[in-house]
Amino acid sequence: MFKLVLLRHGESQWNLENRFTGWTDVGLTKKGKNEAKTAGSLMKKENISFDTVYTSVLQRANRTMEICLNTMKIEDVKIHYNWRLNERHYGALQGLNKLETAKKYGDDQVLIWRRSYSTPPPKLEESDTRHPKHDELYKELETSLIPSAECLADTVNRFLPYWHDNIKIDILNSKRVLIVAHGNSLRALVMYLDQMTEDAILKYNIPTAVPLIYDLDKNLKPIASYYLGDQDEIQKKTDAVASQGKSK
């Protein structure tokens, strides 16, 4: 049996402000840093350790990872940073307040933009300074790979090749793997692992900085999955994620 741990980053400044974040590189709040420390403490208590860590190139995930590993007293670990683990790109919505956007366009439209599997939000013009083609983080990335907006299907399609070519190989080689990423990039992997339908993933939410443990068989099929921590508190955090983007 193999064990895989997934961790969404702690609360970011734009999570706090209820903004669409996507590829915008914002930092953690004080609460987010504390959440990351708590996640590390929970895993340390369970005697969980890691050989390899995979994370995005965005600082909110990177800082969460650093705090967790520091709390767990883990130093000798291989860290891989890759844009394929980034959050879903929210296009022209990035930076907008979710509540105000819902009041303007309606809850149903915002739900589609936030959670639809195949409908992307409005694209960000390439001339816009917010477009990732202008970001130094992606200067070596082929222009054709840089999105102007993404639906969840797009996120799945960019994440899974990296899973198959890199992460999965490490797990099958008995590496203890932690993935620190984002709500939608992790939903993409959960959908694949649990063979969830498009309708099911629409309703699935991942709370910030709560370790999600997967026990996998020799074929990397889930035997069990569960969150570490107080289950009532985890449910409250999950409900809070679900309610984002509602006008009421």
Q: Which amino acid is it at 31? A: K
User: Which CATH superfamily groups domain 2-243?
Assistant: Phosphoglycerate mutase-like (3.40.50.1240)
Over residues 81-93, the pLDDT tens digits come to 999 999 999 999 9
pLDDT-based confidence at residue 113 (cuts at 50, 70, 90)? confident
Over residues 87-111, the pLDDT tens digits come to 999 999 999 999 899 999 898 888 8
Percent of the chain whose pLDDT exceeds 70: 97
Cα 14 to Cα 116: distance, rounded to the nearest angstrom? 21
Cα 81 to Cα 180: distance, rounded to the nearest angstrom? 10
Residue 110, pLDDT score: 87
Residue 244, pLDDT score: 65
Residues recorded for the chain: 248
Interval 34-47 mean pLDDT: 97
pLDDT at 246 over 70: no
Residue 87 has what DSSP assignment? P
Choice among 35-39, 62-66, 99-103, 172-176 with the minimum mean pLDDT:
99-103
Tokens at 83, concatenated: 């844009």
- Is residue 65 within 8 Å of 209, Cβ to Cβ? no
Hey, which residues are catalytic here?
Answer: 9, 87
In angstroms, the Cα distances linking 246 to 81, 106, 222 are 33, 8, 33
Residue 39, pLDDT score: 98
Residue 57 has what DSSP assignment? S
pLDDT at 176 over 90: yes
Q: Which of 199, 194, 183, 61 is nearest to 117 (CA)?
A: 199
Mean pLDDT over the full length of the chain? 94
Boundaries of every domain in the chain: 2-243
pLDDT at 17 over 70: yes
Query: First-to-last CA distance in the chain?
Result: 45
In angstroms, the Cα distances linking 218 to 21, 84, 168, 171 are 37, 25, 11, 10
Cα 98 to Cα 18: distance, rounded to the nearest angstrom? 6
pTM of the complete model: 0.94
Cα 110 to Cα 103: distance, rounded to the nearest angstrom? 9
Cα 88 to Cα 54: distance, rounded to the nearest angstrom? 17
